[in-house]
Structure 1
Amino acid sequence: MPVLSPLRTLLPALLLGLAAPASADDAAGPPTTQQVLDASQPSDWRTPDPANTLYMDLEGGRVVIELAPAFAPEHVANIRTLAREGFWNGTSLYRSHDNFVVQFGDADADEPALAKSIGSAKSALPAEFERSARGLPFHPLPDPDGWAAEVGFSDGFPAARESAEGQAWMAHCYGALGAGRGMEADSSIGAELYVVTGQSPRQLDRNITVVGRVLSGMELLSALPRGTGPLGFYETEAERTPIPSLRLASDVPEDERERIEVLRTDTATFDAYVESRRNRRDAFYKRPAGHVDLCNIAIPTRVPSDGEG
């Protein structure tokens, strides 16, 4: 079911904004990304709700996914039911499309078999491509966007909207979790999911239901071998990556849960973080860009210090 059914030592620091200031003058200037994060307070961070967090356990480690019920409530409810009833346990990642997505679910189930395997989950859902922006928390970015009148973040999720009174939707940024569908807009039930692993395919915004995003473990997905079949599907079962377990964090014993915090996107610290990405002041950068795209704002996560979470 497709979605439509060397500078080796410098590079890590540059990507993360960790390069040290070149001089005392630089150090006295606007803070770098790392300096912003180092100066953050416990109140600048939040702990994801275990009831809306998925753990995909693979042989190589764990992928942590946060669901977005504010944008796709019916899909998220179905996904929670499917996870609680073990639908994905023993299925696989069966597609890895270069510079696009990886996809997972039951690769061999036809429609009758799928209907029998989803347990008490709903067998039909409405398309949830967008929702009203009214009442939706929205922290806008200062720069224009080519895909929407306004972009920003809503409770940590990259989002866009027409206006405060118009429609809003989640954006297809790197790490976004979407619900694969066929040609009909309402043909998804959340059983076949994909994660964006390539350059952000924003043309899919408002065309597919986005249900969440990966918080950690993206390296386990983006490094999968590319599928050799059409659209990146694996041609043999042996090529697939098994999923031994996919569970809600709330169904995992508390002492086995991931200790993870996410930078809040509605604070002055976040505004400073965005500015550090818009106008890079690291020693490597000679000309700050003065602009940042929505999908270039990677939301930091961290393991809380002892006593903080």
Structure 2
Amino acid sequence: MSDQAQPSARARWPLVSVLIPAFNHARFVQRCLDSVLEDPYPSKEIVIVDDGSSDATAEKIAQWVAMHGDRLPVQFVRRENRGVAATLNELALRANGEYLRLGASDDYLLAGGLDAQVRYLRGHPQALAVIGDACVVDPDGQLLHASAMRDLHGVDVDLYRSTSTIARAVIRHWAVSGAVAMLRRSAFDVRNGWDESLRIEDWDFFLRLAARNALGFIDMPVCAYRLHGSNLSKTADVASRIANLDESRQVALRCVALFDEPERTLLRAQARYIAAKVAFLRRRPHHVVGHLAAFAWLSSPFSRRAGSVRGASEPA
């Protein structure tokens, strides 16, 4: 490409930084990197941090960079473990792109997704981020579900399609699996990044974007979400599940003040629903009943219209 052609090419194809936090995914990480290289979008870079893996993940990344690093810009950092949120913040700070595509070292991108998400953001200047759907694969890459949102989570995708209901969908039907989000760099700047105190950081980050009416959706699979034994949010360990759920409840309560009605009341209701799950896992049936009663009260059509009713109180 000539020097004269470069400015127009950059205007047409803004740089996308694919951010990949990598941790103990030696089996999968090279497939993830291959998928970035295979995507036909022409202006992209990879920024990948090995977050203190104890397996051969870092070695697999280094091998891949040695073989393919001359085909696109790659930044590779290996350091001690600091967690997903801290790694995402570091990746975003290192990135050069106008757009930040979130990746995961056990998932892989689907061809065409980068272009579709860039087109969405360029056509919707009010949106700071756009999410897509994912297909679901097993550890060997065999297809399990064509749509994670419909088949794995069972949500009404129409709620995500509409700008008037996407915030409610994020609150009540969080159904984002895998690396399906692209952000404007300003989304990272404005929202101050990911909360490094959290074990599972994504719902908090996207609640904050939804509260600003700054989140969009495209109804197409943009990545393959891999189900395997290490998926944190699917842990079978009861103590870990309780910790994850209790953290989500605290996130919901913390974000309530960011929303207007009726979403504010719906988020309070969701906090009660999560609390009922925690009570169930702790084998406290009376608490389950109380939290579910509060959830039903807050979720009623009257509460959705009126929000927090003056002079009334939700069940204890």
- If the TM-score is normalised by the length of the shorter chain, which range does it land in? under 0.3
Q: By percentage of residues, which structure has more strand?
A: 1
Structure with the larger RCO, 1 or 2 (CA within 8 Å, 6+ apart): 1
Question: TM-score scaled to structure 2, two decimals?
Answer: 0.24
Q: By percentage of residues, which structure has more helix?
A: 2
Question: TM-score scaled to structure 1, two decimals?
Answer: 0.25
